[in-house]
Amino acid sequence: MQISFVEPLSRAWERMRRMLFAPFELGRWLVLGFSAWLARLASGGGGGGLIGDTSDGGDHLSGLSSKLGGLADAVTNHPVWMALALVGAVIAVAILIALLWVSSRGKLVFLDNVVQERAAIVEPWQRLGRLGNSLFWWRLGFAAIVLALVLAVLAAVVLPAAAASLLDTLRGLSIAAILLGALALAVIAMAALFIVLLLEGFVIPIMYRFDLSAMAAWRTLLPWLKRFPGWFIAYAVVIFFAAIAFQLMVLIMCLFTCCIILIPYVGTVILLPVWVLYRSYSVEFLAQFHPDFDLFEAAALEPAPAEPGEPSRELDSGGEVG
């Protein structure tokens, strides 16, 4: 078994070129771009943090605490505001869950389009519905676990400071809690990103190839992950630097296109070559570990959508290919 990062990229590039530019068809781009947009509905996100001046941190902290306390009292003491806040929170959570469900199905639809080299929505949406639902429940559970960990870390940061009464003690606890909390959040973020990368790149293709649930696909991948951890970590590093280069490219394109590229769906269609290349690359990289992982070869042997076979015994055990 020989693992390469260049060969899968070359094959993925050729597939992208053949799908999108040989020949160029606007209708194909729009449909394929729509499936890519569905797949990315719940993948977007952002964040940031501000570090204030610590010279007068006590005054700012006490002022912020009083403002938050007043806001909390205003909400809890007025039933109407409390009800509106609860309704708003429920609606926001429901929207997020709905987007997660749609994107879970969309990821499989987009993968199916890339593997079959076509542009379709309705047929793969219906055919892959069971796998999409399994992926949705796994992602929802994973999101709940990550959220619980983040809230636990934040509680560990906030509660010691809230329990302190003296200003000097408050400052000391705040600094220590912030440092430990930031370290814990960084570890959680790195672990979560690595798991999501494995899910996107390998678990979803395994689900598609062998008609497995999300948990069964993870069980199929884990022996290979344990046997060749270095290759998967190296893959994550490559994707990380590629993501940085991609963000720089998006920034430059945004400056020259008046941010048109940031418009939902429109930006996905414009960047469709990138999404097809990335989707193809992870599948090509996975295929190097065992021939049974080769989705493109299986599609060539069985052009029409069909129920994939069960993984071989050698594949389940993560044995080395002879």
Give 300-315 pLDDT, tens digit per residue. 776 544 434 445 444 5
Which is higher by pLDDT, 200 or 84? 200
Give 95-120 pLDDT, tens digit per residue. 999 999 999 999 999 999 999 999 99
Looking at residue 300, its pLDDT comes to 74
Which is higher by pLDDT, 317 or 23? 23
Confidence of residue 54 (pLDDT cuts 50, 70, 90): very low
Give 214-236 pLDDT, tens digit per residue. 999 999 999 999 999 999 999 99
- Given a cut of 80, whether residue 175 has pLDDT beyond it is no
Instruction: Please compute the mean of the pLDDT values over residues 39-65 and round it to a whole number.
Output: 48
CB 269 within 8 A of CB 29: yes
Give 26-39 pLDDT, tens digit per residue. 999 999 999 999 99
> How far is the first Cα of the chain from the last one, in angstroms, to the nearest whole number?
8
- How far is the CA of 224 from the CAs of 57, 102, 213, 303, in angstroms? 50, 29, 18, 28
Confidence of residue 69 (pLDDT cuts 50, 70, 90): low
Q: Give per-residue burial for 51-79: e unless 16+ CB within 10 Å, then b.
A: eeeeeeeeeebeeeeeeeeeeeeebeeee
Q: What is the mean pLDDT of the chain?
A: 82
Residue 296: name the closest of 15, 24, 34, 18 by CA. Answer: 15
**What does the alpha-carbon distance between residue 234 and residue 314 come to, in Å, rounded to a whole number?**
24
Give 2-22 pLDDT, tens digit per residue. 899 999 999 999 999 999 998
Which is higher by pLDDT, 183 or 50? 183
**What does the alpha-carbon distance between residue 220 and residue 194 come to, in Å, rounded to a whole number?**
17
Looking at residue 172, its pLDDT comes to 56
Looking at residue 179, its pLDDT comes to 77
- Given a cut of 50, whether residue 317 has pLDDT beyond it is no
Looking at residue 319, its pLDDT comes to 46
Confidence of residue 44 (pLDDT cuts 50, 70, 90): low
Looking at residue 161, its pLDDT comes to 56
- Given a cut of 60, whether residue 62 has pLDDT beyond it is no
Which is higher by pLDDT, 134 or 321? 134
Looking at residue 309, its pLDDT comes to 43
**What does the alpha-carbon distance between residue 277 and residue 108 come to, in Å, rounded to a whole number?**
16
Which is higher by pLDDT, 197 or 171? 197
Percentage above 70 pLDDT, the chain: 75
pTM here is: 0.79
- Given a cut of 70, whether residue 188 has pLDDT beyond it is yes
- Given a cut of 80, whether residue 277 has pLDDT beyond it is yes
Give 234-273 pLDDT, tens digit per residue. 999 999 999 999 999 988 888 887 888 888 899 999 999 9
Place of tokens 């709940």: 144
| Helix/strand/coil for 76 | helix
Which is higher by pLDDT, 316 or 15? 15
Residue 231: name the closest of 205, 188, 210, 202 by CA. Answer: 202
Instruction: Please compute the mean of the pLDDT values over residues 205-211 and round it to a whole number.
Output: 95
